[in-house]
Amino acid sequence: MASSRPRALSGIQPTAGSFHLGNYLGAIRQYVALQETHDAFYMVVDLHAITVPQDPAELRANTRLAAAQLLAAGLDPERCTLFVQSHVPEHAQLGWVMNCLTGFGEASRMTQFKDKSARHGADRATVGLFTYPILQVADILLYQADAVPVGEDQRQHVELTRDLAERFNGRFGETFTVPAPYIVKEVAKIYDLQDPSIKMSKSASTPKGLVNLLDEPKTTAKKVKSAVTDTDTVIRFDAEEKPGVSNLLTIYSTLTGATIADLEQKYEGKGYGALKTDLAEVMVDFVTPFRVRTQEYLDDTETLDSILAKGAEKARAVAAETLADAYDKLGFVPAKH
């Protein structure tokens, strides 16, 4: 069954701790939906994480935490392949091959590297950070992925993947599927609750603007109730004039499936207080089971680790086949068994 479906692959960094509402509504929900239509592979990218310094104990905890949250959000190991990147050694192996196919200038044009190295101080940036996008190329090509569900910020890395797939195929013969970015335009963009002019993100604004899914539900309710709105009282979607209220309507609509028009009608003649109280309840109903499920996985790392081991085994079967083909095309002598 699965093999007749297009293949999707994505990776998520194990560095964030708790997912926030923006991650969930923007990306994770997409991952969950793609299980139904695609042969989907999702991995926690610990090899990518060490391109900047990581505390080992924190990295290990965050890797399990990311996997636990993906499962809590609805990834089903029966319907997708969920694994940890370092469990599949083929990533590093094909990464090397891709390093040898990438021009130095070509890698130097990657804007995320430029941003990140500027942030960490250019002289402290590692070679690993420089080749980060090339490891990502290997991640994608190993699985012959058709679709790569990512945010707009990853488009350039998927373009590089396409270029390198075509280059390898052109030089050595058809080997890799040339993937396309899967960027859903209508995906809900969630803004900071305190500053609705900026996207909700870990690094932005005050903690009050950020809804972490693993926060105490009552903290979340409080954040919703103190969200910035405007001096008007009308509940209407208008991203320009009423960005705060519009953001609340977007969150409400995305979590419940009610349309914005339904909500505008429901709150006609009512004040912001009513909207916030109801939305706080909707959010609490959403985060409460999410936290419980995440905690269940974290309390039973044996089960969690065996889910990840099974995922790695499924992933490796695909990755090993692709790598063997690439090695053969390159002219490597096969290792005798």
Which residues are annotated as catalytic? 116, 199, 202
Number of H helices, E strands in the chain: 15, 5
Work out how close the CB of 179 gets to ligand TRP at its nearest, in angstroms, rounded to a whole number. 9
Is 139 a residue that touches ligand TRP (CB under 6 A)? yes
Is 40 a residue that touches ligand TRP (CB under 6 A)? no
Region of 7-15, 17-25, 169-177, 185-193 interacting with ligand TRP (CB under 6 A): 7-15
Cα dihedral sign, 106-109-115-119: positive
Question: In this structure, are residues 85 and 319 in contact, taking their beta carbons and an 8 Å threshold?
Answer: no
Is 18 a residue that touches ligand TRP (CB under 6 A)? no
Is 136 a residue that touches ligand TRP (CB under 6 A)? yes
CA 19 to centroid of chain Cα atoms: 10
Is 150 a residue that touches ligand TRP (CB under 6 A)? yes
Query: How far is it, in rounded angstroms, from Cα 241 to Cα 275?
Result: 18
Work out how close the CB of 11 gets to ligand TRP at its nearest, in angstroms, rounded to a whole number. 3
Question: In this structure, are residues 99 and 137 in contact, taking their beta carbons and an 8 Å threshold?
Answer: no
Among 144, 154, 194, 220, binds ligand TRP (CB under 6 A): 154
- Contact letters for ligand TRP, residues 46-65 (x by CB under 6 A): --x-----------------
Q: How far is CA 122 from CA 125, 127, 129, 308, in A?
A: 5, 11, 11, 36
Query: How far is it, in rounded angstroms, from Cα 169 to Cα 175?
Result: 6
Write the single-letter amino acid at 234.
V
Specify binding-site residues. Answer: 13-15, 22-23, 139, 151-153, 190, 199-203
Specify binding-site residues for ATP. Answer: 13-15, 22-23, 151-153, 190, 199-203
Binding site for ligand TRP (CB under 6 A): 9-11, 13, 45, 48, 136, 139-140, 148, 150, 154
